[in-house]
Amino acid sequence: MIIYGNELAASFKEKMKAEIETLKKENKRLPLLTVILVGNNPASQSYVRSKEKACLSIGMENKTIVLPEDISQQELENVVQQQNEDDTVDGILVQLPLPKHLNEQAVIDKISPLKDVDGLHPVNAGALLTNRSGFIPCTPKGVMAMLESIGLDDLSGMNAVVLGRSNLVGKPLALLLQNKNATVTIVHSKTKDIKTITSKADILVAAIGQPKMVKSDWVKDGAVVIDVGINRMENGKLCGDVDFDDVCDKVKAISPVPKGVGPMTVCMLLENTLESYHNKERKNG
Ligand code: NDP
């Protein structure tokens, strides 16, 4: 079975679009996502464009603030603060990576946890750690939705292995899998004999940024494999961290790259922004 994230994302987006259409009909305020882009890194520009497009596709308001490459830490933090204070803004995302002279973590810390739709603020990271409500980072949230889509909701008794331990993907994903009762192992670049660990996984998620590193002898028969990796090959095409052709006959289900986790990530950003909108509207009565 191939788990197409683009198809799943389309169905999530249909629901959100209908919800926003209802808000429009009722003349209500619409949810608004602010994206802050510093400098002119082409990859970041393209990610920001795809977020704008996604907002448009469901009728969500969006605002992109483009700032010069040489902006100071203080100036950038001031822009974030203005968005924190703007009541019409529901979600704030600072496109990473930032230019080298800027302190990324300090900028993330400046975002109001109530508008941190990327789920990277320490308050939201702490909420996830303690299994409380908060914004969940979009990629891990998308992976969990993909697992749910094939009936994997309660993961009791299952071994899950996460390849990668980044704050953005690996760590939060391991927590989410554990919160669903999986027994989780995290593997990283200092792990010895990775293959022995991955070949015991009922669920294997790869998020290492190593093109086609996961081969069939890394994978248990009948496993579910989710490929988060996005790598550009010499021929310009994208590939994942999993060697899809080598692995696909051995597994029960696998996600492709492209059309896999990527579209779910953007979709979960919209979902988090909508969640933030509803939180705010509830608070305002
Ligand atoms: P990071 O570079 O932050 O983290 C990579 C992780 O993989 C680290 O923990 C690193 O270990 C580990 N790793 C690297 N090489 C190896 C190796 N040879 N063996 C074992 N572990 C290794 O990357 P991200 O987590 O941000 O992203 C991972 C991948 O997912 C990338 O390809 C990225 O493009 C993609 N991605 C895709 C998204 C999507 O929407 N589909 C969203 C976000 C990311 P250590 O900690 O020891 O250095």
Q: Which of 188, 213, 232 to mutate to test the pocket of ligand 1 (most atoms within 8 A of CB)?
A: 188
Q: Where are the domains of the chain?
A: 27-112, 138-262
Q: How many of the other CB atoms lie within 10 Å of CB of 208?
A: 22
118 part of the active site: yes
Tell me the pTM: 0.96
Location of structure tokens 């973590």: 105
Q: How far is 61 from 55, CA to CA, in rounded Å?
A: 7
Q: How far is 228 from 256, CA to CA, in rounded Å?
A: 9
| From 90, 116, 118, 241, the catalytic residue | 118
- CATH number, domain 27-112, options 2.60.40.420, 3.30.460.80, 3.40.980.10, 3.40.50.10860: 3.40.50.10860
Two domains, one topology: 27-112 and 138-262:
yes
Name which residue sits closest to atom 47 of ligand 1, judged by CA: 189
The CA–CA distances, whole Å, from 181 to 1, 11, 168, 249 equal 23, 27, 21, 27
Topology of the domain comprising 138-262: Rossmann fold (3.40.50)
Exposure string over 77-104, b if 16+ CB within 10 A, otherwise e:
bebbeebbeeeebbbbbbbeebeeebee
95 part of the active site: yes
pLDDT in tens, the chain (285 residues): 999 999 999 999 999 999 999 999 999 999 999 999 999 999 999 999 999 999 999 999 999 999 999 999 999 999 999 999 999 999 999 999 999 999 999 999 999 999 999 999 999 999 999 999 999 999 999 999 999 999 999 999 999 999 999 999 999 999 999 999 999 999 999 999 999 999 999 999 999 999 999 999 999 999 999 999 999 999 989 999 999 999 999 999 999 999 999 999 999 999 999 999 999 999 887
Question: Is residue 222 part of an annotated ligand binding site?
Answer: no
51 part of the active site: yes
- Does the complex come out with an ipTM higher than 0.95? yes
**Which atom of ligand 1 is nearest to 163's Cα?**
21
Ligand 1 cavity residues, CB under 6 Å: 139, 163-166, 168-170, 187-190, 207-210, 228-231, 261-262, 265
